[in-house]
Amino acid sequence: MAQLGSLPSGQRHLATPHREQAAKEPEQDQQPESGLKTAADKTAAVERQIRSLDEMLTSALPVAPLTFEALVISPSPPRFDPAHSGPGPEPAWHNYAPVRPGVLRLLLGAAARYRRELAAARSRFDAAQTEHRNQESQRRQAFAAAKAQHDRRVTEERAKAAKHNADLAARQTAFAAGQPEAVEWFVARVLDASRYPGVFPRERRVTYRPEHREVEVEFEFPPPRIVPPVRAFRYIRTRDAVEPLARPQSEIRQCYQRLISCIALRTLHEVFAATPSSTVETVVFHGRVGTVDPATGQPVRPHLVSVSVGRSAFDTLVLASVDPTVCLAHLGARMSASPFDLEPVDPLT
């Protein structure tokens, strides 16, 4: 095979671009693969987000209900680990003592020099011992101060835990007696313990009416934009670009309606599961969303769901199998005719 350098000039002109093109081909081949992976990763992320919204009810069903016992805390004092290390080993004389001359050298006049070296070494040794004693004294003082600080923190942690547990025991007694403040406090802890995505609002208000053994929950829904407007992503090879595919508007509306229905049923489930019938017989749920009135520009919070359910009716539900929106209708809920458009309903009174 002819070498490039031995080809005529015209053939060399043709061969050189061919090699440059061959060198670029691997890089070009990698672009579609990278673009396809980016599109697949973005699509998977959107699908996970939709799945988490779709499973907002069923994901909470296996979770054990909150109890007063679970709120008891144990003191967790810090481990004592002083940062002050020791000054090291005590000075040893053999590390300072000069080498003693032999007998012949002593006879030849080295004795005086040796005595001077010995005195100087003794002086350095005495100074090193003094420094060591000072360092040891400082170390002991620092250790004692660190230990005293640690002991104070241990005492504070134990006192803090003891106070928390004593207050908790008092609240538990008041809860069993049906005192409104204690019931409202515990139900609020139940709702606080419920895990939602971080972008969800966490505003809620709890009211207890002991004469009816009724808990009322005012709950803040996430806005409709929580539903991803993109269904998937695709890679366009000709433009080397990743583009979104829009989710149908009907699907967005259906997803949002299902989401707020799931949240309503999930809240009812969590309150009933964590409270005894002797304290809570009925749960009233009002779900609303914060927005801005386009007509006035003023903030408004229209109700989208309002439902009142007795324990006996709720206990008959198989929540893992229900259609959340149909289930709420079965329970007699007032539901917005168009939640995505934030069309309000009058809450139950």
Q: For the residues of 167-178, what is the DSSP string, one character each?
A: HHHHHHHHHHTT
Query: What is the average pLDDT across 253-274?
Result: 98
What whole-number percentage of the chain has pLDDT above 70? Answer: 88
Query: What is the average pLDDT across 64-75?
Result: 95
Q: pLDDT at position 81, please? A: 78
Judge whether 291 and 220 are in contact, CB under 8 Å.
Answer: no
Residue 132 has pLDDT above 60, yes or no: yes
Query: What is the average pLDDT across 210-239?
Result: 96
Q: pLDDT at position 309, please? A: 98
Most confident of 73-82, 274-283, 286-295: 274-283
Least confident of 95-99, 176-180, 212-216: 95-99
For residue 64, which phi and psi values (nearest 5 degrees)? -65, 140
236 closest CA partner among 32, 3, 10: 32
Query: What is the average pLDDT across 178-198?
Result: 97
CA distance 66 to 273: 8
Query: What is the average pLDDT across 77-100?
Result: 78
Judge whether 204 and 107 are in contact, CB under 8 Å.
Answer: no
Average pLDDT, the chain: 88
Query: What is the average pLDDT across 96-124?
Result: 80
Q: pLDDT at position 295, please? A: 84
Q: pLDDT at position 85, please? A: 57
Q: pLDDT at position 107, please? A: 65
Q: pLDDT at position 317, please? A: 98
Q: pLDDT at position 87, please? A: 62
When comparing pLDDT for 55 and 150, which is higher?
A: 55
Q: pLDDT at position 80, please? A: 81
Q: How far is CA 324 from CA 70, 263, 333, in A?
A: 30, 9, 11
Q: pLDDT at position 150, please? A: 86
Residue 9 has pLDDT above 70, yes or no: no
When comparing pLDDT for 336 and 293, which is higher?
A: 336
What whole-number percentage of the chain has pLDDT above 90? Answer: 65
Query: What is the average pLDDT across 95-120?
Result: 78
- pLDDT band at residue 6 using 50, 70 and 90 as cut-offs: very low
Residue 99 has pLDDT above 50, yes or no: yes
Query: What is the average pLDDT across 8-37?
Result: 57
Residue 284 has pLDDT above 60, yes or no: yes
Q: How many CB atoms lie within 10 A of CB 268?
A: 24
pLDDT digits (tens, 9 = 90+) for 303-325: 999 999 999 999 999 999 999 99
Q: How far is CA 106 from CA 86, 235, 314, in A?
A: 42, 96, 108
175 closest CA partner among 160, 190, 153, 192: 190
